[in-house]
C-alpha cells in the first residue's frame, strides 16, 4: 500500500527554509521511488490536489497583495524545482527500465551460431550417380524397374533352371503373394530381370532394325535383395546391370566399355582388367571381371568387381529377339563394392548404420 499522503503542515507563512526543505524532501522521496507507480504517488504528496505546494498556493489568497506577490513567486520557484526533479526521476526510471529490458534480451554475438545442418548424399547414392554419369557419357540409357519381381523375370527368362540354387529359399526372399503363373513373387536377387524388361520393351524397334535404332544400350542401377549378411554382404544391396545388344557386339566391346568405365570411375589409367572364366546361366561365355590397381594402397591385388558375359541365345529369345541376329554382352556389378574400393572402406555394414561420423566424411 502506498503511504497515506500527508500534506505538509505549512500554512501561508512558508519560510524560505521550509521551501528548501520541501524541495529537498521531494528530491529524497523521488530518488527513493523504485518505479513509475511509486514515483507518481510521491508526486501527489507535493503537486497533487492536496499536495504541499498546492496547499501553499491555495493559502496565498488570504495574504495581503504585496506579500502575496513575493510569496507566490517563491512558491512557484520551489514548484518548478520539484517538477524538474520529477521529470528527471521519470526519465531515470524509464532509462533504467529500458536498460534492464535490453540486458535481459541481450544477444551474445560472440557465441557460435546454432547453424543449419545440411543433408548430404549417401556414399552409395554418390557412387550410383557417378556410375550413371559415366555410362550416360558413353551413350547408355538409364532404366529403372520393380524390386518385387515375378519368378519368370528373376529366373526363368534368365535361363535359370528350375533346380538352380539361386532360386532357393536360402538365397532369395519370397513374398507371400503369387504371380499370374501361381509362383510366389520375389524380392529381386539381382538387377538382371531389367535386361529382360528393357529388351522386351525395345524388341519391336530392334526387330524393325531401322538404321541407328538397332542397338540396346542400357544400364539399370537399383536395389537388390539376398538372404545374406556379413562384412561384405547385406540383405539389401545395390547392383548396376549393363546390357549392350546389337548385331555385332562382342566380348571385345565388353572389355573396351568396362575398362573405360573403370578408368573413369577410379580416375586413373593405372589399373589392369582381366576376364576370368565363370558361369552364369544367362551368359555364354561368362566371366568374372577382376581389376588391379597399379598404384595406391591396394596396388598389386586382383579384386573381383563384376559378373559378365555374352548374353545366352535362349535369353535373347526370351527378349523376343532372334539370337541368330542379335548378340551382345551384359554385366552386373555391385555398387557397394565399387564404393568400397573407391573410398577404401573395408566393412559394407558401415553404409547402413547411419553413423554420422562415417557419413560426414563423404560430404
Ligand atoms: N546377375 C549376376 C549376379 O548377380 C551378375 C551378372 C549380370 C552376370 C549380368 C552376368 C551378366 O551375380
Atom nearest to 286 CA in ligand 1: 10
Q: What is the mean pLDDT of residues 117-132?
A: 94
Q: Are 133 and 80 in a shared domain?
A: no
**211 and 88 co-located in one domain:** no
User: Does residue 109 fall inside a structural domain?
Assistant: no
Q: For residues 182 and 317, give the distance between their C-alpha atoms in angstroms, rounded to a whole number.
A: 23
Look over the chain and give the mean of its residue pLDDT values, rounded to a whole number. 91
The residue segments making up the domain with residue 249 are: 123-362
Helix (H, G, I), strand (E, B) or coil at 280: strand
Closest atom, ligand 1, to C-alpha of 192: 1
Q: Is the CB of 145 under 6 A from ligand 1?
A: no
330 lines ligand 1 (CB under 6 A): yes
What's the pLDDT band for 267 if we cut at 50, 70, 90? very high
Q: Is 172 in the pocket of ligand 1 (CB under 6 A)?
A: no
In a domain, 62, yes or no: yes
C-alpha separations of 138 from 132, 199, 210, 222 in Å = 10, 19, 21, 20
Higher pLDDT, 10 or 239: 239
- Rounded to the nearest whole angstrom, what is the distance from the C-alpha of residue 307 to the centroid of ligand 1? 5
262-299 core/surface letters (b: 16 or more CB in 10 A; e: else):
bebbbeeeebebebeeeebbbbeebbbbbbebeeeeee
Q: What pLDDT does 11 receive?
A: 46
How many domains in the chain?
2
Residue 61 has pLDDT above 90, yes or no: no
In this predicted structure, the answer to whether residue 5 has a pLDDT above a threshold of 60 is no
Which pLDDT does position 2 carry in this prediction?
47
In a domain, 17, yes or no: yes
Same-domain check for residues 286 and 195? yes
Q: Are residues 90 and 38 in the same domain?
A: yes
Cell readout for 119 is: 543433408
C-beta 195 within 6 A of ligand 1: no
Q: Whose CA is nearest to atom 4 of ligand 1?
A: 190
Residue 246 near residue 224 (C-beta atoms within 8 A): no
Q: How far is the CA of 308 from the centre of ligand 1 (A)?
A: 6
| Residues 136 and 281 occupy one common structural domain | yes
Domain CATH for 235? 3.30.930.10
pLDDT at position 78 is: 92
List, for residues 65-95, the tens digit of each pLDDT value.
888 888 899 999 999 999 999 999 999 999 9
- Give the position of cell 539399370: 220
Residue 113 lies in a domain: no
Tell me the per-residue pLDDT of 312-334, one tens digit each, with 9 for 90 and over. 999 999 999 999 999 999 999 99
Asked if residue 222 and residue 353 are part of one domain, the reply reads yes
Same domain, 91 and 159: no
Indicate if 294 and 146 belong to the same structural domain: yes
45 pLDDT exceeds 60?
yes
Atom of ligand 1 nearest to the CA of 332: 7
What value does the mean pLDDT take over residues 281-287? 97
Pick the residue whose CA is nearest to atom 10 on ligand 1: 308
286 membership: H or E segment, kind and range: strand 283-293
Amino acid at each position: 500500500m502506498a503511504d497515506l499522503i500527508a500534506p505538509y503542515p505549512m500554512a501561508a507563512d512558508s519560510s524560505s527554509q521550509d521551501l528548501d526543505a520541501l524541495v529537498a524532501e521531494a528530491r529524497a522521496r523521488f530518488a527513493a521511488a523504485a518505479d513509475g507507480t511509486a514515483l507518481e504517488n510521491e508526486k501527489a504528496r507535493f503537486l497533487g490536489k492536496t499536495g504541499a505546494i498546492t496547499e501553499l498556493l491555495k493559502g496565498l489568497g488570504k495574504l495581503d497583495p504585496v506579500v502575496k506577490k513575493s510569496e507566490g513567486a517563491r512558491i512557484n520557484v520551489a514548484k518548478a524545482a520539484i517538477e524538474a526533479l520529477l521529470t528527471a526521476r521519470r526519465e531515470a526510471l524509464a532509462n533504467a527500465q529500458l536498460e534492464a529490458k535490453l540486458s535481459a534480451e541481450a544477444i551474445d554475438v560472440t557465441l557460435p551460431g546454432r547453424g543449419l545442418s545440411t543433408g548430404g548424399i549417401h556414399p552409395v547414392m554418390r557412387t550410383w550417380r557417378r556410375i550413371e554419369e559415366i555410362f550416360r557419357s558413353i551413350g547408355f540409357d538409364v532404366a529403372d524397374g520393380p524390386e518385387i519381381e515375378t519368378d519368370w523375370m528373376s529366373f526363368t527368362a534368365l535361363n535359370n533352371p528350375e533346380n538352380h540354387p539361386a532360386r532357393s529359399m536360402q538365397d532369395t526372399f519370397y513374398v507371400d503373394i503369387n504371380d499370374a503363373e501361381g509362383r510366389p513373387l520375389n524380392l529381386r536377387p539381382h538387377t538382371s530381370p531389367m535386361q529382360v524388361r528393357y529388351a522386351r520393351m525395345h524388341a519391336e524397334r530392334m526387330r524393325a532394325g531401322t538404321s541407328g535404332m538397332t542397338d540396346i544400350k542400357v544400364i539399370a542401377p537399383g536395389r537388390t535383395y539376398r538372404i545374406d549378411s556379413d562384412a561384405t554382404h547385406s540383405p539389401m544391396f545395390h547392383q548396376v546391370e549393363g546390357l549392350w545388344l546389337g548385331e555385332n557386339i562382342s566380348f571385345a566391346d565388353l572389355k573396351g566399355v568396362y575398362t573405360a568405365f573403370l578408368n573413369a570411375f577410379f580416375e586413373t589409367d593405372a589399373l589392369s582388367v582381366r576376364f576370368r572364366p565363370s558361369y552364369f546361366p544367362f551368359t555364354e561365355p561368362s566371366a568374372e571381371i577382376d581389376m588391379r590397381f597399379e598404384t595406391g594402397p591396394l596396388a598389386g591385388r586382383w579384386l573381383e568387381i563384376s559378373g559378365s558375359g555374352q548374353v545366352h541365345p535362349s535369353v535373347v529369345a526370351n527378349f523376343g529377339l532372334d539370337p541368330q541376329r542379335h548378340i551382345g554382352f551384359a554385366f552386373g556389378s555391385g555398387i557397394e563394392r565399387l564404393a568400397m574400393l573407391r573410398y577404401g572402406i573395408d566393412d559394407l555394414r558401415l553404409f547402413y548404420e547411419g553413423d554420422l561420423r562415417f557419413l560426414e566424411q563423404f560430404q
